[in-house]
Structure formats: C-alpha cells, structure tokens
Amino acid sequence: MDSIRITGGNELHGVIPISGAKNAALPLMIAALLTDETLTLSNVPRLRDVAQLSHILSNHGVDYAVNGKRNGQHALAGQTISLTAREIVDTTAPYELVSKMRASFWVIGPMVARMHEARVSLPGGCAIGTRPVDFFIEGLTALGAEIEIEGGYVVVRAPGGLKGARVEFPKVSVGATHTIMMAATLADGETEIVNAAREPEVVDLAKCLRAMGAQIEGEGTSVIRIQGVKRLHGAHHAVLPDRIETGTYAMAVAMTGGDVLLQGARGDLLDTALETLRQTGAQITETAEGIKVYRNGNGIQPVDVTTEPFPGFPTDLQAQFMALMTMAGGSSRITETIFENRFMHVQELARLGAQIHVDGHTATVDGVSTLRGAPVMATDLRASVSLVIAGLAAKGETTVSRVYHLDRGFERLEDKLTHCGANIQRISA
C-alpha cells in the first residue's frame, strides 16, 4: 500500500489551485439519474470517490464519459464529465458498492422519484460513527413511499409516484437534504423541507437541478420549497470550489508559515473557518484570483472551536484545525458536535508529540513548541490530511500510511504541496 513521506520544517510559498468540491460533485453526479438526457458537469475533481460513484452509477445504466482536454485548458483544470441515464436498467444498489462509499445511498431519492421503486443497501457504520439513515426513510415515507427493510436493504416503492409533502428533519443532515430535494423534483405537488442543510453543496445541487428544469426556492436557508415537475432535462453545470480543500491548505500555511495563494477559492464558502484562522494569527485576504494566506514568524494563537452545520465551523476541518492547535502558544478546546467518533486523529497526533486530552466530545489541546516526525496512519480522509499538515510542520520525517483515504478526497495533494516548497513524496509499496 502506498504511503506519503514528509520531511517537515519547510514554509509553504506559491500558488495552490483549488479543485472542484468532492461533496458537491457526488450529489450532482447522482442527480443525473433524474433525467434521460445528458447532464454535463465541469470542474469535477479527479478523486477515488468520483471514480467509485461513476462505477456505481454505471451499474444502474448510466453512461459515463470523461471529455478530453480542450486547447488552452490549464493542465490542472478539473475534468468535464457527461452522464446519461437514458434508461435505468437496475434499481438495486448492492451492498458491495454502497458499503464502499456512503454517499451512494443517496441514489435512493432520484431512483424512487423516476422509477417508483428502489432497493438500496443500508450503508453500515463508518469510521466516524454509526451514521443512521432514519431521516431518509422518514422523509421518503412523508412523500408517500412505502418502505421495508429486507435483508440489509431498504426497499422503497411508490406505485403511483411520490407526492409532495412537508418534511421536517429533527437535525440538520446534508445527505438527507440532498436526497429529499432530488426526490421532490419529480413528485406530484409541493414539498417543503424544514430544518434543511444550508451547506454550499446543497445550494450547488439546487442550482444544477434548476438548470435541469426543477422548481426550487429557498436553498441556502433552512426552508427549501420544491414544486414537482413531470420531467427534468439535460443541463451543464460547473462544480463549485472545494471549501474543505481550501480550509485544509489555509491551515497548512498557518501552521508551517509562508505565503500561498489558494487559486479559485471562494471565501464566502468558509467565512467561519477563515475568521477562526485570522484569530490564530494568520493573515487572510480575498482577491479576485482566490484567497491569500500568510503567516510570518509570529506564533500561533490558541482558539476554541465547536463544529456546527453551515455556516458554523465545519466538522470536515476539525482534524486539520486540531493539527494547527497542537503548536499554538497555549491551550484550546475543540468540540465536535456533528459526529460521535471523530477524534481518531488524536492518538496519531500524539505520536508526533502533540498533547491532547479528550473528554467526551471535547478535546483540550495544549500547544507544544515542536512536533517530531513519526510513522502514523488514519482511518478517514480528514484525519489523514491532518497528519499530513502536522508532518509538514514537524521536525524530521513523518510517514503517513493508508494513503487511499487521502486519494478519496484530495486531488494531487503531494504535487500541490511540492509546488509550494514542501518536501513530500508518495512511496509506492
């Protein structure tokens, strides 16, 4: 298995192009199931999760084409893909595929909306917690679907089609909002989603669905209204920039010191995280080209954070921020409120010399002046990248194993960092 070897201590200077957002690309690809015409998506990141989802969608009968590069296109530009679900040949999403990527469960919404039936494997637990699907089941039931759990599968039928309804989530869920919004586009009548997720990726999906002919309003607020239509058509949509990749590299610069332009990044997608970084002492300016992050020789100030749904501090940046806080000049408290088990990076950061004490959902981080390189590994994507950030700032050599986690969500991570002066290589086993 590949690993990443980092010799820490270099500042980062230069330009990092920000890729399209993984967590927008995935639901956008799934939206292709709603129409028999072609959905073309540009700025799609080249990631393992995207490849895995294309495989899952092919199983349902979706034709997937990656368009070639155009003249004058930047070598690092995201890919343009075309998805055509002319005919859905199989309404079953099998366990072998769904268990590899949780977001593939979301096909249940478009499939039942268009085919009036679906059989989708329960995704199972994952490294960051149990992650149930009760909101999806309650939401689809409210839209008139009949649901049974059979042999580990959610079997959903809506013989006369889905009917618009009021769906109120007990807690904000990104995936349940994506799924019910997609399902409601083809339902009969109006659906109102209350306590909807306000994440930028939900807004991006709503924009794409509207370009496909859906009638949606209120995305980006906690009430989304969808007026069902008879059919959707093809469209072209560009995936928005990845706010988590943006925040990750911003935290890397805040930790190592240096001066980097995060090209194509949009500050409005991560205001809270950028404001938190400013409080740690990093200077952040937004320009027409992207976001500039700068930290000179000054120390890192400790700052407390609590993860929250958007527009709060994102859970997907919690591990990276904890890495930064391990070298702050004092103590900080980091509270995770979204997932029950998202502190697996703590023990690995401790291997680099970090001082962290976990009590329930809160980690207290006592900053140290030096981290020292060590072999580490992680069990999820964001935890893995937090170890990369810490390794960039640590003295000596850090080896991060289980790199396949990073490949799920960070496009050409080592190339982007090498271009800014990091000493980082992938070692093929």
Tokens at 147, concatenated: 């649901």
Does 35 bind ligand EPZ (CB under 6 A)? Our answer is no
- Residues 389 to 418: which contact ligand EPZ by CB under 6 A? 409
- Please tell me the distance from the alpha carbon of residue 167 to that of residue 172, in angstroms, as a whole number: 12
Does 176 bind ligand EPZ (CB under 6 A)? Our answer is yes
Tell the smallest beta-carbon distance from residue 337 to ligand EPZ (Å): 9
Tell the smallest beta-carbon distance from residue 77 to ligand EPZ (Å): 22
DSSP secondary structure, 277-339, as one string: HHHTT-EEEEETTEEEEEE-SPPPPP--EEB-STTSB-GGGHHHHHHHHTTSSSEEEEE--S-
Largest CA distance in the chain: 66
Does 384 bind ligand EPZ (CB under 6 A)? Our answer is no
Instruction: Label residues 120-156 b or e (16+ Cβ within 10 Å = b).
Output: bbbbeeeebeebebebbbbbbebbbbebeeeeebbbb
Q: Are 276 and 305 in contact (CB under 8 A)?
A: yes
Instruction: Candidates 11, 242, 245, 316: give the one binding ligand EPZ (CB under 6 A).
Output: 316
Task: Please identify, among the stretches 170-178, 224-232, 277-285, 364-372, the one whose residues bind ligand EPZ according to the rule CB under 6 A.
Answer: 170-178
Q: Are 90 and 60 in contact (CB under 8 A)?
A: yes
> By rule CB under 6 A, what string of x and - marks binding of each residue 319-338 to ligand EPZ?
-------------------x
- Residues 88 to 107: which contact ligand EPZ by CB under 6 A? 102-103
Tell the smallest beta-carbon distance from residue 404 to ligand EPZ (Å): 14
Does 171 bind ligand EPZ (CB under 6 A)? Our answer is yes
Q: Are 365 and 356 in contact (CB under 8 A)?
A: yes
Tell the smallest beta-carbon distance from residue 197 to ligand EPZ (Å): 6
Instruction: State which residue, 23 or 263, has the beta carbon closest to ligand EPZ.
Output: 23
Instruction: Candidates 45, 109, 110, 175: give the one binding ligand EPZ (CB under 6 A).
Output: 175
Does 257 bind ligand EPZ (CB under 6 A)? Our answer is no
Task: Please identify, among the stretches 37-45, 166-174, 182-190, 207-215, the one whose residues bind ligand EPZ according to the rule CB under 6 A.
Answer: 166-174
- Residues 104 to 163: which contact ligand EPZ by CB under 6 A? 129, 131-136
> Which residue, 344, 352, 292, is CA-closest to 324?
352
Of all residues in this chain, which one has the CB nearest to ligand EPZ in the complex? 175
Does 382 bind ligand EPZ (CB under 6 A)? Our answer is yes
Q: How far apart are the first and last CA of the chain?
A: 5
Instruction: State which residue, 105 or 295, has the beta carbon closest to ligand EPZ.
Output: 105
- Please tell me the distance from the alpha carbon of residue 319 to that of residue 251, in angstroms, as a whole number: 10
Instruction: State which residue, 142 or 371, has the beta carbon closest to ligand EPZ.
Output: 142
Cis peptide before 311 (omega within 30 of 0): yes
Active-site residue identified among 76, 115, 126, 211: 126
Q: Are 234 and 14 in contact (CB under 8 A)?
A: no
Tell the smallest beta-carbon distance from residue 65 to ligand EPZ (Å): 23
Instruction: State which residue, 11 or 380, has the beta carbon closest to ligand EPZ.
Output: 380
> Which residue, 37, 136, 49, 50, is CA-closest to 87?
37
Q: Are 19 and 242 in contact (CB under 8 A)?
A: yes
Helix (H) / strand (E) element for 271: namely helix 271-279
Tell the smallest beta-carbon distance from residue 102 to ligand EPZ (Å): 6
- Please tell me the distance from the alpha carbon of residue 426 to that of residue 429, in angstroms, as a whole number: 9
Tell the smallest beta-carbon distance from residue 364 to ligand EPZ (Å): 22
Instruction: State which residue, 201 or 414, has the beta carbon closest to ligand EPZ.
Output: 201
Instruction: State which residue, 170 or 297, has the beta carbon closest to ligand EPZ.
Output: 170
Instruction: State which residue, 295 or 310, has the beta carbon closest to ligand EPZ.
Output: 310
- Please tell me the distance from the alpha carbon of residue 325 to that of residue 346, in angstroms, as a whole number: 12
- Residue 285: half-sphere exposure toward Cβ, Cα within 13 Å: 8
Q: Are 106 and 23 in contact (CB under 8 A)?
A: no
Instruction: State which residue, 11 or 242, has the beta carbon closest to ligand EPZ.
Output: 242
Is residue 126 annotated as part of the catalytic site, yes or no?
yes
Tell the smallest beta-carbon distance from residue 242 to ligand EPZ (Å): 10
What residues make contact with ligand EPZ under the rule CB under 6 A? 23, 26, 102-103, 129, 131-136, 171, 173-176, 315-316, 338-339, 381-382, 409
By annotation, the residues acting in catalysis are 126
